[in-house]
Structure 1
Amino acid sequence: MSDSTHKPPRLALAYASLLVRRPGLVLLALLALFGVSLWGTTKLTINSNQLDLISQELPEVKEVKRVIDMVGGSGYLMLALRADSEPTLKKVADDIAAKLLADKEHVRFITYKVPVEFVQQNMALFIKTEDLLEGKTRIMAWLKDQLRRNNPFFIEIQKTEPVKLELTDLINKYSSVGKKSIRDDYYISQDRKMMLILIKPMWDSNQLGKTKDFVEHLRKELAAYSKSEQSGGVEVVEDYEKMGNDKLVAYGFTGSYKTAVDDSYAIEESLQPVSLLAFAAIFFITILAFRKWVPTIIVSIGTVIGTVVTMGFTYVTVGELNMITSILGGLLLGFGIDYGIHFIFRTRLELGQGKPYDQAIQDAVVNAGRPALVSAVVTSGSFFVLMISEFRGFSQFGFLAGCGTFIIGVLLFAWSPALLALLGRINPELPKKLIGEMKPPATQNVNTGKELRIPRPGLMLAVSTVIVGFMCAFAIPWSDVDVPTDRPATLAERIKAGIRFNYNSRALIPEGQPSVKLQDEITERFDISSDPIAVYTKTLEEAKAVYDELTDPKNKEKYSAIDQVVSIYTFVPPAETATANAKILADWKEELKDIDVAALPPEAQDKAALFMKMLEAKPFDVHGVPDIYASQFRHLPETKPENHGFLTFIYPAVDLWDGKKMLTFVDQTSRIPTPEVKDATGKVLSPAMERRAAGAAPLFARLARIVLSDGQLTVLLVTLWILVMHYLDFRNVKLALASVIPLTVGLAMMLGIMTLSDLHLNFMNIIILPILLGFGVSHGLYLLHRFLEGTSPVVALRSVGAAVASSTLTTAAGFAALLVASHNGLKSMGIMACIGLITTLVVSFTVLAAVMQVMWDRLPSKLKSGVVHTPAQQPSDKSKSEAA
């Protein structure tokens, strides 16, 4: 610090003077801006298409758009039916399917049963030759025994047991294609108690609003069906726990369409009550801080106006909100009100010095305006850093939150001073009466006459440093050993691991989310994984190359995360196997030509016809696959010509909710090498290349990597931004470093506390880090700027400490409201933000206070007794003359 005789910047004085001299004009301009912004706010809509939030140039986006064009979307909306009665299940499924097929407005196509006769008749061509021979041996042994025993002249001298036909092991081995049973046309579970109807809507799963409306439409349709005569008295009810019976069918929705809707709208629905609770908490804390209603109402109205202006700005610049920026309003309410709190507290302090209302307001704008302006610039810049993100949800959020923070900061330093100035013109005593005053804090002990100071600052600093260092040490990973996830980690395990990142997305969604529970139940009942991803190929030859690569037993380890591969070639028997098996079947048929079916037991006669058809099977190639199967892998008629081709579907063998496993699955399917394919003449049918799978999993994997990389990069950039701006503000390295003590130390303590509490970083709360960095700058700024006005640390703490504490608590209250959210991701954001805000506040009043006392003690006494100002904090000439 050094003595200075510079005047405050002319711009700051001119601005403050305008607010005092023309308050009515300023308020009219603000209200006019509010009116225009309110109109723009009413025009805002929320774009629920998540695909629009990712760069359209990413290969993952281009590939998934191709799949959408080819088959109408990635994944399905799955309608699951439950009942004890199989006939009831099938009748209800048939009735619902007929209604869905008639709905040309919403439904592109459905899949709920596939004729299996062709597969049954040709299954012998797919069976391994050794298994076919084994089956033939068993059947022939049984057949000969049955014919012998059914012969009227059969006489057994020594009784023997009939040959038993044991084919269960072979039947189970070849009873499905992919995971679809070939015993039944319907998509029915092995226990015959659940049936699936796979619905492909007319839009993609990223268009959440359309899916949500369609699900509501289906609920009404199913309720109407229950009341109709067509149901035959069967009631269809939505239930994710209940098992139906002959007269009750329980249904539920899941699949990628439904889980995407549930997760996104769980956030939106959680935020509605949270926003109201947050505003109520902020309002209550502000009243406690001011001990008066009027200042609370002034800053609250100003914050609301600023938020509406920001929404209007959003309409002009971006045009719409998305699922991320839709939380902007609630966030700005918690952040923005801080500027009003600091202005009111400073005005009360100026009034407490006996200044007339106009001079008090003007000096409050100048003195509190500088740290507020620096805080707004730094906080806005911290948000602007998010604009580097490839994820448009984050980049737009960073742009709008940064602009909104600055807008609200400027607006509150216009609205509040102008309103108080207007009230002062009505009655000069009115501002003091309405907002109160704060007498300058005492600088000396009334009993001893000695200067009030923070006792033993060196000891406090040493003790605080030890405690803080101890807490921060818990955040450091001291071991590479993974912490167990199947049970709560012990304290020792947590300390060794340090702060951890939780990759499991299940930890973010609401507990007991019905669509996820149903998805787990389907996985168990049908032994199938979630929706597949798809690999596009232009020709059949390319599709064959992909299928061969993924199903080659030699590559099992290479593609360990893949459960099954379903392609048009799944329905084509391997050529060598088919040829060998066809010869066996022909020989077998010849052996059986003289067999009289009527001589077999009655129960065997029923299956004899199908068996004889199976013996007729002849090898066929991909062109012999019936269209009902082939169409599942071929583009739709309306597909663009450049996207004509075939799809190979890949099902994961891992839980895609686990982020690490999802990344492994996506990595294994993002570069699928295929060799060059030539025809008999040597013409290249398919060049050697790497194929990329498309679908929800690759998109989420890319987004996860964006979040992780952006989280690290933004924290680094925000930290550099804060240090540079603080140095430019103070023009002193020591002061700049001192001002960021609450921020850096507080957040390090936060990570240590999270480790001890078994709380983790995740894909949602990691975005809080740059936000906390941006907000945390205000603690050190306001305290140090007050200190640099020539007040001792005790006076600085007593004069602006209440404002710092109040502004922090209001923001914490806004985030604390997230603790009641049903969405666990939002809840984790609230917990992390509250811990970070409280730790930075505690550090401000301990470590920073001790540092300021040490700095104060080292000042020459002549500077202590004088008034020490930074260039922007000099009193105006008018106040000097009045003081004289």
Structure 2
Amino acid sequence: MSLVDRILGSIARSVCKDRGRWAVVFLSIALIASFSISRIQLTLDAEDFLPKKPPRDRHFQQQVLEQFGGKAPVVIVFRSNKKIEARNIAPLIEAVAGKLNAVEEVKKVTFRLEPKLKAFIDAELPRMLLLHLNPKDLNLFSKKISASTMKTLILPTEFGNPQPEGVLNRDPLGLFTLTGPYLFDLMTGFRIVLVDGYFAFRGEESFFILVEPKDPIRKAEDAKRITTKIDAVLNEVRADPSFESLFKEIDATPIGRPYIYASTFDTAMKDAKQSLFYSVASIFLLLVLFYRRLAAPLLVMLPVFFGLLIIAGLSALIFPSVNLFSLLFAAVLAGLGIDFSIHIGTHYWLHSHPSRPREEAVVGAVVRPGRGNLFSALTTAAAFSALAFSQYRGIIQTGLLTAIGILVMLLSAVTFFPFFISFSKKPIETPKAILRWTEAFIFLSERFPKRGVFVWGLLVVIATFGVFRLGYEDHPWSVAVRGNKEAEEVLNLDKRVGMSFVPILIVSRGETETEAIEKDRRVAKILAQIRKGAGIAFFQSVTSLLPEESQQRENIAFINANQSLFSAERFRKDFHGILKEGGRDSEYLLGPYTDQVAKTLGPPRQTPIRLEELKEWGLRPEIDRHLGTIGNDPLAVTYVYLTQFPWAKGVVKRFTSRFEAAGGGQLDGVFLAGEGIGSESHANLLKKEVIQAGSIALILVTLLLTVAFRKPSSIALTLLPLLCSVWITLGVTGFLGYELNFLTLSVTPILLGIGIDYGIHIMERYRKEGSVRVVLKETGSGLTATSLTTAFAFLSFCFSESPAVREFGIVASIGLGICLLASLHLLPCIFESRRSRKV
């Protein structure tokens, strides 16, 4: 008898002889675990989905977000089926904004152009706008306001009007096309307009408020805190009698990342509870069908409940908080943990007899599958522990908790389960359906062993094409937000507006403020070049307020050299004359349009704009938003708003690749920051993680197989069906079009850990019996039952509201089915093929 058998036998005898003492031990453990569970903190932390960064880099990026903002805001959209008049909604917006400003978790509320910035744009910017234009655009501007060009653009010709009627009425000279980008970037954004000073969406005039959190939202509890207070503010204003009639026509909808976070937490919590319930319920019903009575399934499941209680208690002691996606694996542990009890129970009820001493029956039931149970638990735990080498904190926690949980389930099965089965001796027969199932594999492996091996080889070849079609999710948060209603609302808003409200920050660090600004200026030039191709809606930089001095001097010189051309009086006279000659003298063109252009023409500014001068005009808050210091390092920050939500597939990667290709990656002291960053290398990292986790799991499993079997041929034969199963599963995943993500990353080590159990049990029994028929009859039924229970545990994820969780359940259950087939068919076919060659 081996050492393992002696230890397990001693434990079983002790349980049978000293049931009173063991009852006290079990009760004490349950009480301690229950007390520990009361302290458990469930969370959903953004850091769990992001690759680990060097602590210094992470700290610096957090400082950037805290000082310069750039955090994902809440957008409160005011919509109506009718056109909203600004004068009617203004009191409502002011009331909501005022109450939000008093919320502790809110840093800034933006709903209109800042008064000082608006005064600057109205009074100061027009007379210095020409200094913002690059020399090429300034030269084009001068040509457009010349008398000859104005005649060409306005007067009809023999070929008809040179400009369409709408353009003639709005901007006949096309000057707004040249100056517009400077005004848009400075004032608002791509499809955002000002209506009586309030922010609205172009084309629909639905107004909105931006609410920026004081701190980056990293945890779901933080998201719940701020969203609860925002909802309370909106409900308080709705209850105000003065706004009652207005709210009948206007809908105020808050959306944004904090709401996505809060909703994802609720969904994950619901999925975790639901999956565990469905897992336990389906396994129980399956065991009822298997044993055809209620007592046996209850006995088999008792150690699972006891094990889950201990695991929950341990998780509260090991980790300060437990991620909800880790909690999902409680359903997996229910399916895995019951395997040990099924093997022990099967042997107990098969070999027990009323005339046989209870102690002997219990010891035999624990010892007979003991080595198989031990090494299957160790290999499965080793495979899950391979996830501890991941770059993702959430995956690390999931791997460690599951690995520890499997070992706890084994201990529960060899102690808590024998304690209860020692009271039962009535034999239970294996269902005939299971017997027919195993008889079919006995027939196939004995009659067609070589053909069976060929079929599996062909499946591996076909699966290879699917493996090469595997995709990887671009953004770590895709698992959490895919299928999320709040996330879809944000995406729809971004699509409608044509921009995302979550900025990417480009930080330029220099030894002096001037050096930081010059680096920021080079960044702005690169962004202007790649704007369309990189998916940039607009960007805001301090250089939007402060043009390069050499450019300003060149423009001043050009304007002075063409004073008559840039004369406001000359422009009024010529433009009005041409309008009257062409019959286009509308009130708008003769009045507001002329005045707006004339403001930019004179009197011309003769000195470059200075930074201190801008501060004196009341723009210090706007400048401080772009300039500052962290430690001793002066920083200049540019805010980049993309046309799509940064979490959308390929969006950030598109921007970063274009920025680096244009030279942004070579700028010393320039780096990207913000909550939108984190996905540009995620797909590649995820691919490495799959290979790494699979390789480490395979190495650990092989080492344990070496200890278990020692003989190289036995190790190779046990691994071969497993590797084929994993490869075919990955191929099926590729053919189904599922992308590997935060969750499906763990499928490979899961299959390596669970699938090897089947091979170990088959190999262990074959080494003792030497007969495929005996092995499949004795072990095949138990493997089929345990495989079904584990598969049902994974199938419980199919009821999840999250598409990513559903896909994980489908892939894992398919993989388990393939692993079972390989163990019951491929491995016996190999045994029979080898035996026939020897004969």
TM-score (normalizing by structure 2): 0.83
Displacement of 1:690 after TM fit?
A: 3.7
Letter in 1 for 2:218: N
Q: Provide the residue aligned with 1:274 in structure 2.
A: 275
Instruction: Report the more deviating stretch, 630-639 or 195-204.
Output: 630-639
Say whether 1:190 aligns with 2:178: no
Instruction: Report the more deviating stretch, 505-514 or 457-466.
Output: 505-514
After superposition, the Cα gap between the structure-2 partners of 1:536 and 1:265, relative to the gap in structure 1 and judged at 3 Å, is: farther
The structure in which a higher percent of residues are helix is: 2
Say whether 1:40 aligns with 2:36: yes
SS in structure 2 of the partner of residue 187 of structure 1: strand
Task: Measure, in 2, the Cα distance between the counterparts of 1:9 and 1:279.
Answer: 30
Summarize the alignment of residues 714-725 of structure 1 with structure 2, pairs less than 5 Å apart: 714-725=693-704
Displacement of 1:560 after TM fit?
A: 4.9
CA contact (8 A) 2:534 2:659 kept: no
SS in structure 2 of the partner of residue 79 of structure 1: strand
Q: Provide the residue aligned with 2:184 in structure 1.
A: 177
Q: Provide the residue aligned with 1:126 in structure 2.
A: 132
Summarize the alignment of residues 691-770 of structure 1 with structure 2, pairs less than 5 Å apart: 691-701=670-680, 704-770=683-749
Summarize the alignment of residues 618-633 of structure 1 with structure 2, pairs less than 5 Å apart: 618=605, 619-626=608-615, 631-632=621-622
Letter in 1 for 2:425: K
Task: Measure, in 2, the Cα distance between the counterparts of 1:826 and 1:345.
Answer: 33
Displacement of 1:728 after TM fit?
A: 1.5
Letter in 1 for 2:292: R
Task: Measure, in 2, the Cα distance between the counterparts of 1:573 and 1:7.
Answer: 81
Summarize the alignment of residues 554-569 of structure 1 with structure 2, pairs less than 5 Å apart: 556=529, 560-561=533-534, 563=536, 564-569=538-543
Displacement of 1:28 after TM fit?
A: 2.0
Q: Provide the residue aligned with 2:160 in structure 1.
A: none
Say whether 1:210 aligns with 2:222: yes
Deviations 1:373-398 (A, max 9, x none): 11111111111111112222122222
CA contact (8 A) 1:511 1:824 kept: yes
Count of residue correspondences: 783
SS in structure 1 of the partner of residue 507 of structure 2: strand
Task: Measure, in 1, the Cα distance between the counterparts of 2:719 and 2:7.
Answer: 27
CA contact (8 A) 2:541 2:639 kept: yes
CA contact (8 A) 1:776 1:840 kept: yes
Letter in 2 for 1:253: I
Letter in 2 for 1:473: V
Task: Measure, in 1, the Cα distance between the counterparts of 2:173 and 2:342.
Answer: 77
After superposition, the Cα gap between the structure-2 partners of 1:31 and 1:361, relative to the gap in structure 1 and judged at 3 Å, is: same
Deviations 1:737-771 (A, max 9, x none): 22234422222222333344344433431222111
Match 1:464 to one of 448, 452, 470? 452
Match 2:428 to one of 431, 436, 461? 436
CA contact (8 A) 1:60 1:699 kept: no
Task: Measure, in 1, the Cα distance between the counterparts of 2:177 and 2:485.
Answer: 32
Deviations 1:454-510 (A, max 9, x none): 347465332222322222223324xxxxxxxxxxxxxxxx79x54444547797566
Instruction: Report the more deviating stretch, 400-409 or 664-673.
Output: 664-673
Task: Measure, in 2, the Cα distance between the counterparts of 1:705 and 1:505.
Answer: 12
After superposition, the Cα gap between the structure-2 partners of 1:675 and 1:843, relative to the gap in structure 1 and judged at 3 Å, is: closer
Summarize the alignment of residues 9-20 of structure 1 with structure 2, pairs less than 5 Å apart: 9-20=5-16
Q: Provide the residue aligned with 1:251 in structure 2.
A: 253
Q: CA RMSD in A?
A: 4.0
Task: Measure, in 2, the Cα distance between the counterparts of 1:819 and 1:806.
Answer: 20
Match 1:61 to one of 44, 58, 61? 58
Deviations 1:520-543 (A, max 9, x none): 333344332451221334553244
CA contact (8 A) 1:550 1:565 kept: no
Displacement of 1:362 after TM fit?
A: 0.3
After superposition, the Cα gap between the structure-2 partners of 1:672 and 1:320, relative to the gap in structure 1 and judged at 3 Å, is: farther
Deviations 1:224-280 (A, max 9, x none): 3223123251117xxxxxxxxxx22342402x4444444455433333322222221
Task: Measure, in 1, the Cα distance between the counterparts of 2:354 and 2:762.
Answer: 19
Task: Measure, in 2, the Cα distance between the counterparts of 1:195 and 1:6.
Answer: 77
Task: Measure, in 1, the Cα distance between the counterparts of 2:570 and 2:739.
Answer: 71
Task: Measure, in 2, the Cα distance between the counterparts of 1:50 and 1:230.
Answer: 41
Task: Measure, in 2, the Cα distance between the counterparts of 1:333 and 1:327.
Answer: 11
Q: Provide the residue aligned with 1:592 in structure 2.
A: 569
After superposition, the Cα gap between the structure-2 partners of 1:554 and 1:305, relative to the gap in structure 1 and judged at 3 Å, is: closer
After superposition, the Cα gap between the structure-2 partners of 1:231 and 1:559, relative to the gap in structure 1 and judged at 3 Å, is: closer
Instruction: Report the more deviating stretch, 564-573 or 170-179.
Output: 170-179
SS in structure 2 of the partner of residue 206 of structure 1: coil
Letter in 2 for 1:380: A
SS in structure 2 of the partner of residue 725 of structure 1: helix
Deviations 1:651-705 (A, max 9, x none): 34676445555335345668997899xxxxxxxxxxx724221122333445555
TM-score (normalizing by structure 1): 0.79
After superposition, the Cα gap between the structure-2 partners of 1:714 and 1:205, relative to the gap in structure 1 and judged at 3 Å, is: same
Deviations 1:134-161 (A, max 9, x none): 443369968xx99xxxxxxxxxxxxxxx
CA contact (8 A) 1:388 1:395 kept: yes
Q: Provide the residue aligned with 1:241 in structure 2.
A: none
Displacement of 1:36 after TM fit?
A: 0.2
Match 1:518 to one of 489, 493, 496? 489
SS in structure 2 of the partner of residue 697 of structure 1: coil
Say whether 1:25 aligns with 2:31: no
CA contact (8 A) 2:193 2:199 kept: no
Task: Measure, in 2, the Cα distance between the counterparts of 1:633 and 1:671.
Answer: 29
Q: Provide the residue aligned with 1:532 in structure 2.
A: 503
Say whether 1:781 aligns with 2:781: no
SS in structure 2 of the partner of residue 699 of structure 1: coil
Deviations 1:778-837 (A, max 9, x none): 111122223333263222222222221111111111111211212111111011101101
Letter in 2 for 1:177: F
After superposition, the Cα gap between the structure-2 partners of 1:235 and 1:702, relative to the gap in structure 1 and judged at 3 Å, is: same
CA contact (8 A) 2:472 2:686 kept: no
Displacement of 1:306 after TM fit?
A: 0.7
Letter in 2 for 1:565: F
SS in structure 1 of the partner of residue 769 of structure 2: coil
Q: Provide the residue aligned with 1:551 in structure 2.
A: 524
SS in structure 2 of the partner of residue 193 of structure 1: coil
After superposition, the Cα gap between the structure-2 partners of 1:315 and 1:807, relative to the gap in structure 1 and judged at 3 Å, is: same
Q: Provide the residue aligned with 2:165 in structure 1.
A: none
Letter in 2 for 1:622: L
CA contact (8 A) 1:793 1:852 kept: yes
Task: Measure, in 2, the Cα distance between the counterparts of 1:235 and 1:139.
Answer: 54
CA contact (8 A) 2:299 2:421 kept: no
Summarize the alignment of residues 137-156 of structure 1 with structure 2, pairs less than 5 Å apart: 137=146
Task: Measure, in 2, the Cα distance between the counterparts of 1:556 and 1:602.
Answer: 38
Any stretches of 5+ residues in structure 1 without a counterpart?
Answer: 147-162, 237-246, 424-430, 444-450, 478-493, 677-687, 861-884
| Percent identical | 17
Task: Measure, in 2, the Cα distance between the counterparts of 1:407 and 1:65.
Answer: 39
Say whether 1:77 aligns with 2:82: no
Q: Provide the residue aligned with 2:163 in structure 1.
A: none
Displacement of 1:417 after TM fit?
A: 0.5
Task: Measure, in 2, the Cα distance between the counterparts of 1:743 and 1:545.
Answer: 59
Q: Provide the residue aligned with 1:819 in structure 2.
A: 798
After superposition, the Cα gap between the structure-2 partners of 1:65 and 1:667, relative to the gap in structure 1 and judged at 3 Å, is: farther
Any stretches of 5+ residues in structure 2 without a counterpart?
Answer: 156-167, 578-584
Say whether 1:345 aligns with 2:346: yes
Task: Measure, in 1, the Cα distance between the counterparts of 2:469 and 2:441.
Answer: 38
